[in-house]
Structure 1
Amino acid sequence: MKAIGFKQSLPITEKDSFMAFETEKPMPEGYDLLVKIAAVSVNPVDFKVRQNAAKDTVLDTPKIIGWDAAGTVEAVGDKTTKFKVGDQVYYAGDITRSGSNAEYQLVDERIVGHKPKSLTLAEAAAIPLTGLTAWESLFDRIKINPEKDKEKTVLILAGAGGVGSIAIQLAKKVGGLIVLATASRPASIEWCKALGADYVVNHHRLKEELEKIGHSQMDYILDFVDLEGYWEMAADIIKPQGHIVTITGSNNPLPLNVLKNKSVTLSYEFMYTRSMYTTDDIEKQHQILNKIGELFDAGTLKSTLTTTLKGFTVENLKKAHQLQESGRSIGKTVIQF
């Protein structure tokens, strides 16, 4: 089968930052599905792994990355019960295993969902990683209860990004929250509004703009861009007994004591935790993806796909990585095989 990978962490503009090669098609065992991939999407985690996985070495065989895919089940392992050959599926995979930048991939069925019927395979490939991250942030970490928490406020940092784009919709349509999102460019502001944000505020003048609209204090803050950069601001504007969720963490120690007097909760969200540690509730991701699929099929959620590159090629993978690295992408970028 054809795959695309890298042997060394190089700038994306370098000739060998990615290379196409042939490798053996794997066979499923246990809980694994063998999926013939039809489309993949690219997320920040892709370029971060590419930049760091082989910085000081040259790998013997190319590393295959990629953590969003949609395709068709071609074969199943002997412990599988949730899917059959021919089913169309979508998933974000497992960061500890070979990735989706290949014609075929093995993936544990417990982290796979049935593709939403209303979405194309390309549209479906744009959803899993961001959908799972946003859902887990809101409903697993904060534990939003739509009946109890309706009309509470949530500030989504980086609203126009991949995770922010689905988090705005889930927070508004499922959680019933008042949604505030950060964006500064006209295109990203309009994108956030179209997805359902009640207010869009400029992150360069965040506190000033929050005060202007009468929401100077937040019940919840979702950090999808830079916890360290927003730390002091987040600690200032979070309400007493509020909740901050971050997917970015920090390279330097943060003064957690600034949250103490307000009894603020800080949670980390890492979408790969369940698959990485085979947690007791690993199957929850299968359930979440199926629930998200139902929301798309009901018309509650809108596709976040904005850019489609046709053809599984080194050139297209490089283009997708360059777009992600620019930090200016809106929504999701998909490569259609």
Structure 2
Amino acid sequence: MKTTTAIGYTQNLPATDPKSLISQEIELPELGPHDLLVAVEAVSVNPVDMKVRLGTPADGFKVLGFDAAGTVQEVGSAVTLFAPGDEVYYAGSIDRPGTNQRLHLVDERITGRKPATLSFAEAAALPLTAITAWETLFDRLQLTEQSTGTLLVVGATGGVGSIMLALAEVLLPQVTVIATASDDERAAWARDLGAENTVNHHEDLATQVLTLAPHGVDWLFTAHSEGQLET
């Protein structure tokens, strides 16, 4: 039985507690038919990691992590999409041990080939943010290349917001994007990613938006909705 070093928790403790995250050697399960054994080179931290650590029972020891990038070491008996040596990235699965491991098992069917233009760290930063942005634009809002109107992205310089701006710039040519940013540097970042207009969400947001879109916006995305429903 192979073992690997993993990072997780045994108790639901606040981040300020030294025992909120611990390192532990764990056994790796046997490869399933569609599993890849990945040598993890990089992971990223998402808000869901914090929520899991605070609210999900550890059941002894729970490994954290969703996003990862690494190199395939072994493949299951039914794997057809990858081979040892392939560089991959993925978002993992909530019903399996997390990605914060030196070696990690993931189903090939939720795995992608790491873009050659990206480092492992850059690739590991993408999966959950990109999936959220894509599903919001094209599944939830049901936008298409023919869509016309105005999209307001609140908190546009965060992970999901940044990916959303880039996707809209390439795939939604007739949609005008208003992005919120908290200072000039972040506003420039949003414009570089394709936003036609920027406003400061620390000021009177409604007035700024209505100045740019007098009849209101057609679609709204906010990565942080607490306290913003009335606006």
The TM-score with structure 1 as length reference comes to 0.64
Q: Which amino acid aligns with 1:206?
A: L
Contact 1:32 1:77 in 2 (8 A): yes
2:14 corresponds to which residue?
11
Q: Residue 152 of structure 1: CA displacement?
A: 2.2
Q: Is the Cα contact below 8 Å between 2:168 and 2:194 reproduced in 1? A: no
Q: Which has the higher contact order (CA 8 A, sep 6+)?
A: 1
TM-aligned CA deviation for residue 142 of structure 1: 2.2
The answer as to whether partners of 1:27 and 1:34 remain within 8 angstroms in 2 is no
Give me the whole-angstrom Cα distance separating, in 2, the residues matched to 1:48 and 1:101.
16
**Matches of 1:52 and 1:46 in 2, distance apart?**
10
Q: Which residue of 2 is the match for residue 61 of structure 1? A: 60
2:111 alignment partner in structure 1? 112
CA distance in 1, matches of 2:40, 2:164: 26
Matched to 1:63, the amino acid is: K
Correspondence 1:1-337 to 2 at 5 A: 1-54=4-57, 59=58, 61-146=60-145, 148-149=146-147, 151-176=148-173, 177-204=175-202, 205-226=204-225, 228-233=226-231
Instruction: Name the CA distance, whole Å, in 2 between partners of 1:98 and 1:140.
Output: 28
Letter in 2 for 1:171: A
* Separation in structure 2 between the aligned mates of residue 217 and residue 170 of structure 1, nearest angstrom: 22
Which amino acid in 2 is paired with 1:96?
D
Alpha-carbon distance between aligned partners in 2 of 1:215 and 1:225, rounded to the nearest angstrom: 24
Unaligned runs of 5+ in 2: none
Q: What SS does the corresponding residue of 1:16 show, helix, strand or coil?
A: coil
Separation in 1, partners of 2:72, 2:122: 18
Which one-letter code corresponds to 1:29 in the other structure? G
1:216 to partner: Cα distance: 4.5
> How much does 1:48 deviate?
1.5
Once the two structures are superposed, residues 203-224 of structure 1 have per-residue CA deviations (whole angstroms, 9 ceiling, x without a partner) of 2411100122235411211222
What SS is found at the alignment partner of 2:165?
A: helix
Tell me how far apart the structure 2 counterparts of residues 98 and 216 of structure 1 sit (CA, whole Å): 48
Alpha-carbon offset, residue 103 of structure 1: 0.7
- Alpha carbon RMSD of aligned pairs, Å? 1.6
CA positional deviation for 1:78:
2.1
Deviation, 1:193, is 2.2
For this pair of structures, how many residues does the alignment match? 226
Which TM-score applies when normalising by structure 2? 0.91
**Conserved 8 A contact 2:169-2:193:** no
Residues 175-207 of structure 1 show CA distances to partners (whole Å, capped at 9, x for unaligned) of 222111122234432322222211111224111
Q: In structure 2, do the counterparts of structure 1 residues 216 and 12 end up closer, same or farther at CA, with 3 Å as the change threshold?
A: farther
Deviation digits for residues 284-318 of structure 1, max 9, x if unmatched?
xxxxxxxxxxxxxxxxxxxxxxxxxxxxxxxxxxx
> How much identity, in percent, do the aligned residues show?
46
What is the CA-CA distance between 1:4 and the residue it aligns to? Answer: 0.7
Listed as ranges, the gaps of 5+ residues in structure 1 are 234-337
User: Displacement of 1:110 after TM fit?
Assistant: 1.4
Q: Which has more helix, going by share of residues?
A: 1
Partners of 2:45 and 2:30 in 1: CA distance: 25
Q: Quick one: which amino acid aligns to residue 229 of structure 1?
A: G
**How many Å separate the matches in 1 of 2:98 and 2:26?**
13
